[in-house]
Amino acid sequence: MTTRRDFLASAALLSAGLLVSPALLARAKGYNKKYIGLQLYTVRDAMAKDPAGTLAQLARMGYNSLEGATYTGSQKFYGMTPQAFAALLKQNSLIMPSSHYRLGEEPMNGAPALGTMLHEWDRAVDDAAAAGVKYMVCAYLSEAERGNLDHYKYIAEQLNKAGERCQKAGIQLCYHNHDFEFVAQNGKLPYDLLLATHPKLVKMELDLYWATKAGHDPLTLFKQHPGRFPLWHVKDMDKAAPHSFTEVGNGSIDFKKIFAHANEAGLQYFFVEQDITPGSPFDSASKSLAYIKKNLV
């Protein structure tokens, strides 16, 4: 079990550059370019109504890798057991190497949120392994879960603990950012405290849109923390205010430049995500896929 003392000691060593060699972290195998992923939150309404039909449609479009978004609170993968969902993926020649989870500090309907890092995490890890998941990702901190810098240190402790349990199952824990982690408190960024977790127990899923919108260059993060970003969310930012989400290649983010540093980041899988689309999410996902195939892989 990781104590607060262990966490602070690890953070100090990391800051001093003694815990892990940057050269070692930078030695990534390189991502498999044949996998083009989609975060299923993009097609969440369709998945809720007809998961089998939706997966078949995504496979026909040309996506072959997915990231899940529903286990927390239901302890099911889109209403299915891990084994049933894994069989459905295989039937469509799809893989789901990553899935999203929650911290679980905020109750759901007045009760503990199950399948989260704080509640029934052991079962969540076992189910993820049964479904073939390689990365379990802390997806989001609600406003009630964020708090001050001391609370972010507590969250970092919980990430370390959850990462230890994942490691025993051969799974890597990651943390997915939005923009609020880059809002300074007393001159410090909450994201830096999250990066001070043990680098082998906790890695990052970098959301390129939110990091860019918050004013942070992904390439700088890769240089400062090589090998720490095995997962990316590839989502573009509209050039016009309010700079909302748009299809990959249709906005202002220079993905070609970012993908040129994939090995430095430690990239293994990336997932297209578009939280809001102007029309059918399948149309937007198709446009993003076409750009990626032509320009990035």
Mean pLDDT, residues 162-187 taken together: 98
Angle at 138 between CA 195 and CA 112, to 5 degrees: 130
What local confidence, expressed as pLDDT, does residue 1 receive?
43
What is this structure's pTM? 0.90
Q: What is the mean pLDDT of the chain?
A: 92
Q: pLDDT for 269-295, tens place per residue?
A: 999 999 999 999 999 999 999 999 999
What local confidence, expressed as pLDDT, does residue 84 receive?
98
Chain-centroid distance of CA 2 in Å reads 23
Please give the CATH superfamily to which domain 4-15+40-295 belongs: Divalent-metal-dependent TIM barrel enzymes (3.20.20.150)
Strands 236-237 and 245-246: antiparallel
Q: pLDDT for 61-88, tens place per residue?
A: 999 999 999 999 999 999 999 999 999 9
Mean pLDDT, residues 186-196 taken together: 98
Query: 47 pLDDT exceeds 70?
Result: yes
Using alpha carbons, list the distances in angstroms from residue 206 to 17, 104, 147, 159, 235.
22, 21, 21, 16, 11
Task: Read off the pLDDT band of 30 (50, 70, 90).
Answer: confident
Q: pLDDT for 248-268, tens place per residue?
A: 999 999 999 999 999 999 999
Query: 26 pLDDT exceeds 60?
Result: no
Separation between Cα atoms, residue 254 and residue 224, nearest integer Å: 19
Separation between Cα atoms, residue 149 and residue 11, nearest integer Å: 14
- Per-residue HEC secondary structure of the chain comes to CCCHHHHHHHHHHHHHCCCCCHHHHHCCCCCCCCCCEEEHHHHHHHHHHCHHHHHHHHHHHCCCEEEECCCCCCCCECCECHHHHHHHHHHCCCEEEEEEECCCCCCECCECCCCECCECHHHHHHHHHHHCCCEEEECCCCHHHHCCHHHHHHHHHHHHHHHHHHHHCCCEEEEECCCHHHCCECCECHHHHHHCCCCCCEEEEEEHHHHHHCCCCHHHHHHHCCCCCCEEEECEECCCCCCCEECCCCCCCCHHHHHCCHHHHCCCEEEECCCCCCCCHHHHHHHHHHHHHHHCC
Mean pLDDT, residues 198-212 taken together: 98
What local confidence, expressed as pLDDT, does residue 29 receive?
61
Sign of CA dihedral 137, 102, 49, 273: negative
Mean pLDDT, residues 89-118 taken together: 97
* Cα–Cα nearest to 153, from 117, 113, 195: 195
More confident residue, 82 or 14: 82
Cβ atoms within 10 Å of 142's Cβ, excluding its own? 10
Lowest mean pLDDT among 43-47, 107-111, 117-121, 220-224: 107-111
Residue 118's contacts (CB-CB under 8 Å, 6 or more residues apart) are 103, 104, 105, 112, 158
Mean pLDDT, residues 91-118 taken together: 97
Contact 120, 113 (CB under 8 A): no
Rg (C-alpha) for the chain, rounded Å, is: 18
Mean pLDDT, residues 190-212 taken together: 98
Contact 216, 178 (CB under 8 A): no
Query: 7 pLDDT exceeds 80?
Result: no
Mean pLDDT, residues 102-118 taken together: 96
Contact 201, 161 (CB under 8 A): no
